[in-house]
Amino acid sequence: MASFHMITTLLFLLTIMLGASNAQLSATFYAKTCPNVSTIVSNVLQQAQGNDIWIFPKIVRLHFHDCFVHGCDASLLLNGTDGEKTATPNLSTEGYEVIDDIKTALEKACPRVVSCADVLALAAQISVSLGGGPTWQVPLGRRDSLTAHREGTGSIPTGHESLANIATLFKSVGLDSTDLVALSGVHTFGRARCAAFMDRLYNFNNKTGKTDPTLNATYANTLKQRCPKGGDTKSLIDLDEQSSLTFDNKYFSNLQNRRGLLQTDQELFSTNGAETVAIVNRFASSQSQFFSSFAKAMIKMGNLKPLTGTNGEIRLDCKKVN
């Protein structure tokens, strides 16, 4: 009888240990169950870029918007009128169909194995790398949420907030000033709608006719031509006027020249006494330092409240729960 209890206890302890190990994200999580996962994701993304040259920044943005609401759990991808997709901060997000294509390809190769949350994390890393940016080992093993978190979408950073507000938001999820500046550097590629910055041109601080004084005057006039008052607020403008299709560090030299498109971008450099100013200068002078810090920050962000072990599920279709 004693040996039976001993065996039962050992089995129980082993179960706990296995559960604990499952709760840790690991770059080799799919080494045996889906060894070609990265290649499959990369192939789909490269095919998608043939149809949409802006797909890489769109995919990275999906990962950001997912992680900043209750953690990286693919809750953003769920359909439904009460979901996150239709909340105001996500109305301009795109690229969902490419995530679906990746998931379809993975289900053919490794059925019921790779979560949609991991698809987002991997697709973001590979998009950055294919766009000319750094490569890093993505910790994997996330599971998918069973519900959306529409009420949490207010925590997604917008382009209209002060540096103090953004810094507080980042700090609340364990991301420091270096992480903030590095992750903001994702705006080295992609585009933004006129609606995201028109207040800087015509109504800064709710003062009619006032232009943001931190905005380079020549650049402001160019933007006013591209985004005229009363014009189409959905028109798209390059976030990085120098190389908006390439992931590099020119975003930071833009800030030094007061040519950051979004208010939250420019405030990283133009806020007197802010510790972010020195970080912007460092990244502007060293692309390798920016790339290294960006990779570290992406890993930290990707580790925000992941569902692991027996929590959540592995969705068969990223748009709906099983």
Question: Containing H/E element for 114?
Answer: none
| 66 annotated as a binding-site residue | yes
* Residue 73 among known ligand-binding residues: yes
75 is in an annotated binding site: yes
Closest CA to 270 of 198, 215, 189: 215
Q: Any known ligand binding at 84?
A: yes
Please state, in angstroms and rounded to a whole number, the distance separating the CA atoms of residues 309 and 20: 8
Burial class (CB in 10 A: 0-12, 13-18, 19+), 32: exposed
Residue 267 in marked binding region = no
CA pair distance 129, 143, nearest whole angstrom: 24
Q: Which residues are designated catalytic?
A: 65
Residue 310 known to bind ligand: no
Residue 38: burial class (beta carbons within 10 Å; 0-12, 13-18, 19+): middle
Strands (E), the chain: 191-193, 236-238
Strands (E), 159-289: 191-193, 236-238
* 187 marked among binding-site residues: yes
317 appears as a binding residue in the annotation? no
B/e letters for 46-73, b = 16+ CB within 10 Å, e = fewer, are: eebbeeeebbbbbbbbbbbbbbbbbbbb
Of 215, 216, 238, residue with least CA distance to 226: 238
232 marked as part of a ligand binding site: no
134 known member of a binding site: no
Show binding-site residues: 66, 69, 71, 73, 75, 84, 157, 187-188, 240, 248
**Residue list for the binding site for Ca(2+):** 66, 69, 71, 73, 75, 84, 188, 240, 248
| Residue ranges of the binding site for substrate | 157
Residues annotated within a binding site for heme b: 187
